[in-house]
Structure 1
Amino acid sequence: MPVASNPLKKALAERRLQLGLWLGLPTATTAELCGGAGFDWLLVDGEHAPFDIPTIAAQLRALEASTSHAVVRPPIGETWIIKQLLDIGAQSLLVPMVESAEQARALVSATRYPPRGIRGVGAALARASSYNRVGDYLATADNEICLLVQVETLKGLANIEEIAGIEGVDGIFIGPSDLAADMGHLGNPGHPKVQEAVRSGLERIIGSRQAAGILTADETLAQSYIDLGATFVAVGTDVTLLSRATAELAARFQNKRQSSTATQGY
């Protein structure tokens, strides 16, 4: 029995738009809830959110029955953690801070078994192979790995075409926040010069025949990236959605209370 096919990898290869949402709350309940919302993919953020291997595994389990495909972002593109993430069942990875073709090539190697790469063989103990119940896991796993690399510095932008040319890279994601910081506009990814660089980067990725991706909670901006040709676009985060919705609900009733008090006083 071969490993399960990767719907995100197939969709990106066919350049079909895939809409996503960021998961930063380390609870399986939140992941399960968001998994029923209708997004094509959900990003489990192991870089900036308080996740570890067990909590990421819990997210993957929560999303297993969902129609939303799970993508995991490790804190760093190191072989040891990539190996662990693949073994707990992640098929798609978004690796941050990729700046060169050499780095991208090393990441491809880390996600493939020998002789194509250097991934350690431990599938008999792993959730990825259903604990050795997927008999053809070792023979079929490589073909279903989706490797997305995140370009978020000026150095990375300068090397986009070279990164895009590495076989085994399935898409390139622009990180506006870190790019803004690298350009001297910390905390201001909407700065015109940053946005110019972002759009140029997306256009160069698309021109290199690669899938282009990005995250923004600004719906107008997200649509502009989609219109430009971006293929995998995250349009919000669970943290921001919850924070915004609770604040707006509280504010509405605080205003009603103040209006009521004012009327009674009159």
Structure 2
Amino acid sequence: MKYPFLENHFKTTLTHQHRTIGCWGSSSSPIVTELVGLCGFDWVMFDCEHSPNDVINLAPQLMALKGTHTQAMVRPYFNDPVLLKRLLDIGVTNFLIPMVENAEDAKRAVAATRYPAQGMRGLAVSHRGNYFGMMDDYLPRINSNIGVVVQIESAKAVANLEAILQVEGVDGIFIGPSDLSTSLGHIGNATHPEVVSAIHHIIKTSKQYGKAIGTVSFDVQTVKNYFQQGLSFIAVTSDLGALKGGLLAASASYRD
């Protein structure tokens, strides 16, 4: 039995720089993920770097998005080829690679998501990512179907930005304002003028190279401003943040 090859629609939105909104996913719960997928977000970013998300609990969360229009992206906890291989084999097709500071980091990430000769991904003939060997045309098409976004979140990354942007296979960049502000010596202050100047430089330079640009902001006006500046994919809320906000509002209303 054969099943049709699944096109990566999120990668297409990156290529054409369509405006999309996403939800930061840290709950590690397929029930919460299913709810997120039913609430109108274009994508959910499963965070493995700062949450309990891992290969085991990501598989049921990917299943929970079936039947919705929400695409999945995963931020691994490290730019590690073995970890990326395992994520690819459970069906992850879009990656946000943290702490990319130079072209070599970006090249390593891209190579880990490609089979030889374009990369170094290890080959397994039957896994969830290829419908256990039943997805038609998987091997000849999957290399070009993987989306790779690199996170720019340090002074070193800003200094090496042009080299990073020229790496083949990098589909977009993602500005990490919290770590960037920390790297620049302004921990917890992403609105410091030096941080804002660095972000403007990242946006301007990335646009010159025609790359999709994303970031995270939970402030509506800031999101609008970012879209006007040319960003195309922005995480506008988080699953745990929305849950916390709703619960705090409910408990406060009754205590008052």
TM norm. shorter chain > 0.5: yes
Amino acid at match of 1:201: I
Question: Take 2:212 and 2:97, find their aligned partners in 1: how far apart are those partners?
Answer: 15
**Deviation digits for residues 121-161 of structure 1 (CA, Å, limit 9, x no counterpart):** 0132x100100011421111111100111010011011111
1:217 paired residue number: 218
2:53 paired residue number: 51
Question: Take 1:112 and 1:66, find their aligned partners in 2: how far apart are those partners?
Answer: 27
Question: Take 1:64 and 1:181, find their aligned partners in 2: how far apart are those partners?
Answer: 37
1:28 paired residue number: 30
- The Cα of 1:172 is off from its aligned counterpart by 0.5
Superposed, which structure 2 residues align to 1:1-266 within 5 Å? 3-124=5-126, 126-255=127-256
Root-mean-square deviation (CA, aligned residues, Å) is 1.2
- The Cα of 1:200 is off from its aligned counterpart by 2.1
Percent sequence identity over matched residues?
37
**Count of equivalent residues:** 254
SS of the residue corresponding to residue 112 of structure 1 reads coil
Of 232-241 and 76-85, the range deviating more from structure 2: 232-241
**Deviation digits for residues 25-68 of structure 1 (CA, Å, limit 9, x no counterpart):** 01000000000111111101111111121101111111122101
Contact 1:92 1:146 survives alignment (8 Å): yes
Amino acid at match of 2:58: I
Amino acid at match of 2:111: S
- The Cα of 1:195 is off from its aligned counterpart by 2.1
SS of the residue corresponding to residue 212 of structure 1 reads strand
State the TM-score, normalizing by the size of structure 1: 0.92
Amino acid at match of 1:192: P
SS of the residue corresponding to residue 103 of structure 1 reads helix
Unaligned runs of 5+ in 1: 256-266
Amino acid at match of 2:143: D
Question: Take 1:123 and 1:189, find their aligned partners in 2: how far apart are those partners?
Answer: 45
**Deviation digits for residues 192-224 of structure 1 (CA, Å, limit 9, x no counterpart):** 321221222122111221000101112211111
Question: Take 1:171 and 1:20, find their aligned partners in 2: how far apart are those partners?
Answer: 15
Contact 1:27 1:59 survives alignment (8 Å): yes
Alpha-carbon distance change, 67 to 137 in structure 1, aligned in 2, over 3 angstroms: same
Greater Cα radius of gyration, structure 1 or 2: 1
- The Cα of 1:2 is off from its aligned counterpart by 5.4
State the TM-score, normalizing by the size of structure 2: 0.96
Of 30-39 and 187-196, the range deviating more from structure 2: 187-196
